[in-house]
Structure 1
Amino acid sequence: MDMKCLVRQQFDSDALGLDFYRATRIDPDILGRELAALPLPYMADAKAHAQDIDGAKLLMRLGFRKMCVQPTFSQDLTGAAGAACGEPMGAASMPEAELDAHAANFPFSRFGLDPDVAQAARVAHQRRWIANSMASGEILKFIEPGAFVSFKLKDKAAVIDLISVLPQARGRGSLLLGRLRSWAASKGLTRVEVTTESENVTACLFYQKNGFRLDRASVAFHLHAGAGR
């Protein structure tokens, strides 16, 4: 089926064990028809700007449910001095036990906040995401014992993909952000960005403590059709 609003997401489909689609365009008539034509069961997600009230209402009329607000924090590096902090790693490996521990360390992800996603499925999805991030040579990362930050380079910015600090490594999150900032400034990047969930108050306060400021916000929506509802 040739779809204009929905795009099947292979990673999420494999990780969650059912067809998963992303709404990349919010057109009420076309999106509604495409959703109705999909074979059951499936899951879909969509995002809207936090201030797009009409778009949010449209998605909810189509059966989507609001999962969370996702604020994006940024730190301006203009004029910041770089410092020697070592080079980030490309492809890296992580012990299986540590991978399992990090995968369980994201209870406030949008999948963790979705009552229709079982905890085992949420952890399996997060585990695969971390493993893919570690294995990718294009996603850079700084790693400390019990903690890591992975990031991509985009438009003169270092955009954090994942950051996780296990309880026994508390304090290393600020160390990792400091290394990332210093390295990014030394490479002439202009900012660092990270997106989290507003429900994760600890993370929001952590980023602000480390010099990040709220830049923008979006709302994540999920739709479950068929099994599991």
Structure 2
Amino acid sequence: MQSRSYGAGVIGEAADADLERLIVEGLLEGRTGSGTYVAQPRERRRMVRSRHRERRGGSPFRADMYEISRSGTWEAASEVRTPAPENIARRLGIESGDPTVRTSYEFLADGKPAQLSTSWEPMAVTGGTPILLPEMGPLAGKGVVERMRSIGVDVEAWVEIPRPARATQEQASLLGLSVGDLVLSIERTYCDGDGRPVETADIIVPDRSWEVAYESAVDPPEPD
């Protein structure tokens, strides 16, 4: 039998690659400062996103959770007059540095972390109105569509761009993940009937707990 020898570095790299693959597949989990362990069985639920979710009234997240027999709640913190970063200004169609209301959300399903979201709304749209702070006032807890409608702004379209990503230190801490775990990053923007963006958000969904499905209706055939 012919024997072969491999450098320790090559073996180490191969082992690291195998560990990473098993972690991605959910068979192992890494714990910061502790090590790698066999992962506990995970319940992975489906989160459906469709144009119909905005027609139910109230909070779309709470309605989503209700449909899978879970209680949807959240915690939020808003900052007024936050200068729009360049990428956010581009998404909102405003100038970099223009004042926005920035709101950070931690969404919970049955009290457990389910997703994160950071939202920006131009103060040129909501300034001086009762909905300036999304989670305060008469429409606290309502969705963007319902809140905007209350000040005469009709949201007619939303665009979402999903991208795979890895959890940052802050995201991992809030979602109960390990740094580098797979997450789905969703860039969402709401627009009014004139195509003007009125809100944009970055949504983070942990891949280990949720799969995201997009649902769209088929228009009926036109009559002959």
TM-score (norm 2): 0.26
TM-score (norm 1): 0.26
Structure 1 or 2: more helix by fraction? 1
Structure whose alpha-carbon radius of gyration is higher: 2
Q: Which has the higher contact order (CA 8 A, sep 6+)?
A: 1
Structure 1 or 2: more strand by fraction? 2
